[in-house]
Structure 1
Amino acid sequence: MDHPKEAPHADVSAVAALDEPTRRRLYDHVVRQPGPVSRDEAAAALGLALRTAAFHLERLADESLLDVVYERRSGRTGPGAGRPAKLYKRSTKQVTVSLPERNYELAGRLLAQALEESEDTGEPVRTVLHRKAHELGTWLAGQDHTGVFDLLERYGFEPRHDGEVIVLGNCLFHALAREHTQTVCGMNLHLLRGVLHGLDEDRLQACLAPAPGRCCVRLEPAS
């Protein structure tokens, strides 16, 4: 039997850096924002001293978990515009322990089940896949008796509110969705519809709304 390779030291160090509770809260806050975050904004959002927030944000940047960018928040340029603000955002580096979270095993299981049942019954594979995904979403909802936002957060979708809409900042099937968009996004759509069904959440509906840097599905107020 093949043994899994050891994670590179840099990745282990990066994950270890998140073991500190305040640092993890800061990381989670930054990656859930639609744009880069300043030290002042992060400190205010989490009720931290500015010095504490700055220390932990720098540690996250040192571990390549966050990228540092500089932008002028005033919108002015040229002399007198002031120094650009130091901002933090999610790093472009992907850690091998999967931050952001991916779940390719889940996708593989659903696709395999759909293929096998289709071969046995003659029903179209895509139809079976959508039904299996919906059933799984309903089952997940039955295991978690919290609200839809907390459930999505627990399973790594990184939800955030955008007005009355819930946007999902992370796609659990990112690489597959890029190469097999129609199949994987359709599966994800029915998975999330199953979640809403399982929670008896009739105030929201799952809709396809592809956009760069986020999940192809978002939850909108029901018509």
Structure 2
Amino acid sequence: MRAVASLGDPVRKRLFQLVRDSAHALSRDDCAATLGLPRSTIRAHLDRLVEEKLLVVQFRKIGERTGPGSGRPTKLYTADQREVSASVPPRHYDLAAGLLASAVQRSIDNGSDIAQSLAQVAFEEGHRRGAAAGNIHRLLAETGYSPEPDGVGGTIMRNCPFDRLAKDHNQVVCSLNGALLGGALAGCADADHDLAPDAEVSHCCARLVPKGKR
């Protein structure tokens, strides 16, 4: 969020776009000359973009001279190739895409039914995440479900991390989601809750209920 917010400054955004679109690394002087701004201003904005890991620094000697007396290396800037995004409320379309791609690959590799493959890979990913989180409510919060107590011992989900996909491909995405959450419960070794459908109160197709009260 800090990285995205840092691009809210119009000068910083222009500077980032300049470095990102350049075919080669740029120096402070290059940036200052292109944007027509003082080096001191450019330096401050470049430092912020490096701090937020939107740009990376490299040092290289410019020109043909090498060896002693050829001068100090120049500080140069290039765009970091990491992808940065933010959404409010939180969405995880990358997770859904990864699971769907893995399911297709598994189906191709072993000839299994695609729906079965999707259920398997989603359960396995949920189990891995559940084991890492150790607590189902922590996992739900970290994955963007916005869990809240329902007042009777269960939990509703105020957010669907796959919202747009679920609206267009309801059966596929809700099946994926159910397998993912089922795997998460197993991975957390949670013996206190079951999954139950919930199409009315939550923004998610599922909710947690106390064991035996499904």
Say yes or no: TM over 0.5: yes
Q: Taking structure 1 as the reference length, what is the TM-score of the superposition? A: 0.55
CA distance in 1, matches of 2:201, 2:189: 30
Q: 1:106 aligns with which of 95, 98, 103?
A: 95
Matched, 1:157 2:137: no
Q: What whole-Å deviation, never above 9, does each CA across 1:154-189 have from its counterpart, x for those lacking one?
A: 221100000212101111100000010010001001
- Deviation at residue 212 of structure 1 after TM alignment: 6.7
Unaligned 5+ runs, structure 1: 1-5, 14-95
Q: What whole-Å deviation, never above 9, does each CA across 1:108-131 have from its counterpart, x for those lacking one?
A: 010011111112211110111011
- Deviation at residue 12 of structure 1 after TM alignment: 4.7
Q: What whole-Å deviation, never above 9, does each CA across 1:13-71 have from its counterpart, x for those lacking one?
A: 9xxxxxxxxxxxxxxxxxxxxxxxxxxxxxxxxxxxxxxxxxxxxxxxxxxxxxxxxxx
Q: Which runs of 4+ in 1 moved over 3 A?
A: 6-9
CA distance in 2, matches of 1:12, 1:191: 35
Q: What whole-Å deviation, never above 9, does each CA across 1:117-146 have from its counterpart, x for those lacking one?
A: 11221111011101111100110012123x
Q: Taking structure 2 as the reference length, what is the TM-score of the superposition? A: 0.57
Q: Which secondary structure state, in structure 1, belongs to the residue aligned with residue 118 of structure 2? A: helix
Q: Matched residues, percent identical?
A: 31
- Deviation at residue 211 of structure 1 after TM alignment: 2.9
Q: Is the 8 A contact 2:191 2:211 kept in 1?
A: yes
Q: Is the 8 A contact 2:156 2:202 kept in 1?
A: no
- Deviation at residue 195 of structure 1 after TM alignment: 0.7
Unaligned 5+ runs, structure 2: 10-84
Give the aligned partner of residue 140 of structure 1: 129
CA distance in 1, matches of 2:140, 2:171: 22
Give the aligned partner of residue 157 of structure 2: 168
Q: Which secondary structure state, in structure 2, belongs to the residue aligned with residue 100 of structure 1? A: coil
Larger radius of gyration: 2
What RMSD over aligned residues (CA atoms) do the two structures have, in Å?
A: 2.3
Amino acid at match of 1:103: H
Structure 1 residues 12 and 153: alpha-carbon distance in aligned structure 2, compared to 1, 3 A threshold: farther
CA distance in 2, matches of 1:110, 1:200: 22
- Deviation at residue 197 of structure 1 after TM alignment: 0.3
- Deviation at residue 206 of structure 1 after TM alignment: 1.4
Q: Is the 8 A contact 1:189 1:207 kept in 2?
A: no
